[in-house]
């Protein structure tokens, strides 16, 4: 075949790919509001993943630091996970009844997570957070919820208060982040600044007898708790009869096998888990003290205190099998050390090249989950994080993607599948992106 013909065929193939992507975008726009699922950049269409990499519909290859927004900690297409999933699929995909895989998964969670005496499965993290708040209200017979400005806890009405407020309201006033939420929800929310003991203490002194729960991400998005802050919350909740909820949808089985509770040494009353425990399939859970979880059992608490919960796919056996195998692999010796080492290496290469090219910045978070913020000021809460140069972050992330790095706009998720070639590719991309920020 002549060189001219090869060139022509490659050109035609490239044009076909471009047209195919535009066609999918048009089709999405006609049937999906805003042309997407409400998650990641709607212009990106991922068609496959393998190990640490993904490919889009235009056959662009990326090192994947998005990893499905966190679940794919082993990487894509892990053979051991696929084997157990295929075995279960051949036996049945869902039953709306108890199954042994779900019970085994619950046993493993109870064994691993300090606060977990019992477990109730749901399908999504947001659903788990919603039920955790409802449990706390049933248990305490109180209505108010304290959450922290900028904390993400799903899509319920309570969670959509002061998640990403466009105005800086005075604490404890809640700012709704979504239309369609009754104004009455605001009255039951107490919003506090993360990492601020004095303000939290003052708000608890004022509203403490009305507060059912404090819900907190022990690593808020990427912002670590200051020393003593989580233990302060634990002490205050114990003294005031408030349920402490750790939202560990992200941190569970990521910061350590026992999650943030193990990593930070503070045990809540309830926690919510997701992402990793489903091995890439839709599965989440509420876990906690038996005395609180008993409100899922009418025979124990009576009809008046019973919290109804059901879901068509709750405890799905395929997801449970995938989660069990994922957790088994994570528990093997050395895997958490490897994950942490990967994260430390990535943090260092970001710092190396951004510093070399003269960009004031901070790497914020833990090695297992972090991002770069372009600011010289301390980042301890939502407002200080929001003061970072957002435009610079957008340009940096965009340039990284053009050089084959796929990441969230606000997070870097390392995974165990990363290879030496991935680190070399990543370093080249970061160096180029850092240099291009000066243009």
Q: Which residues are catalytic?
A: 152, 247, 275
Provide the greatest CA pair distance for the chain: 82
- Residue 56 pairs with which residues in a beta bridge? 46
- Measuring CA to CA, which residue among 228, 276, 260 is closest to residue 125? 276
Contacts of 83 (CB under 8 A, 6+ apart): none
d(CA 439, CA 433): 10
- Residue 161 pairs with which residues in a beta bridge? 176
- Please state, in angstroms and as integers, the Cα–Cα distance from residue 308 to each residue in 17, 133, 215, 274, 289, following that order: 49, 13, 21, 20, 18
Contacts of 1 (CB under 8 A, 6+ apart): none
E strand or H helix at 136:
helix 125-140
d(CA 387, CA 383): 6
Tokens of 333: 């010796």
- Residue 260 pairs with which residues in a beta bridge? none
Give the pairing of strands 284-288 and 118-122: antiparallel
């Amino acid at each position: 075949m002549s060189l001219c013909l090869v060139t022509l065929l490659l050109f035609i193939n490239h044009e076909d790919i471009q047209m195919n992507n535009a066609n999918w975008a048009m089709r999405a726009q006609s049937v999906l509001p805003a042309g997407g699922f409400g998650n990641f950049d709607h212009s990106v269409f991922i068609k496959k993943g393998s190990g640490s990499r993904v490919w889009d519909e235009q056959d662009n290859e990326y090192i994947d630091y998005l990893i499905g927004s966190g679940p794919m900690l082993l990487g894509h297409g892990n053979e051991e996970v696929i084997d157990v999933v295929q075995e279960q699929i051949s036996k049945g995909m869902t039953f709306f009844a108890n199954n042994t895989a779900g019970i085994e998964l619950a046993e493993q969670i109870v064994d691993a997570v300090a606060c977990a005496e019992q477990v109730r499965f749901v399908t999504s993290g947001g659903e788990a957070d919603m039920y955790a708040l409802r449990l706390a209200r049933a248990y305490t017979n109180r209505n108010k919820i304290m959450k922290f400005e900028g904390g993400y806890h799903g899509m319920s009405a309570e969670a959509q208060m002061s998640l990403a407020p466009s105005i800086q309201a005075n604490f404890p006033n809640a700012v709704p982040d979504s239309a369609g939420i009754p104004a009455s929800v605001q009255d039951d929310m107490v919003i506090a600044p993360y990492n601020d003991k004095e303000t939290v203490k003052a708000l608890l002194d004022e509203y403490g007898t009305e507060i059912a729960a404090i819900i907190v991400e022990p690593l808020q998005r990427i912002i670590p708790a200051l020393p003593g802050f989580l233990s302060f919350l634990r002490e205050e909740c114990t003294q005031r009869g408030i349920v402490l909820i750790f939202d560990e949808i992200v941190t569970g089985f990521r910061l350590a096998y026992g999650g943030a509770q193990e990593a930070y040494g503070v045990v809540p009353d309830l926690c919510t888990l997701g992402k990793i425990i489903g091995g890439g399939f839709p599965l989440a859970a509420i876990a906690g003290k038996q005395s609180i979880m008993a409100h899922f059992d009418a025979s124990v608490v009576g009809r008046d205190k019973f919290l109804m919960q059901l879901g068509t796919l709750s405890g799905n056996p395929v997801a449970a099998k995938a989660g069990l195998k994922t957790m088994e692999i994570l528990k093997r010796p050395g895997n958490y050390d490897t994950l942490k080492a990967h994260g430390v290496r990535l943090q260092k290469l970001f710092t190396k090249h951004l510093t070399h090219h003269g960009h004031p910045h901070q790497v914020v978070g833990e090695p297992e989950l972090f991002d770069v913020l372009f600011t010289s000021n301390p980042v301890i809460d939502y407002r200080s994080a929001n003061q970072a140069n957002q435009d610079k972050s957008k340009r940096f992330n965009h340039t990284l993607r053009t050089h084959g790095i796929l990441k969230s706009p606000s997070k870097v998720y390392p995974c165990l599948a990363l290879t030496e070639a991935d680190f070399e590719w990543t370093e080249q991309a970061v160096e180029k992106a850092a240099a291009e920020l000066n243009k």
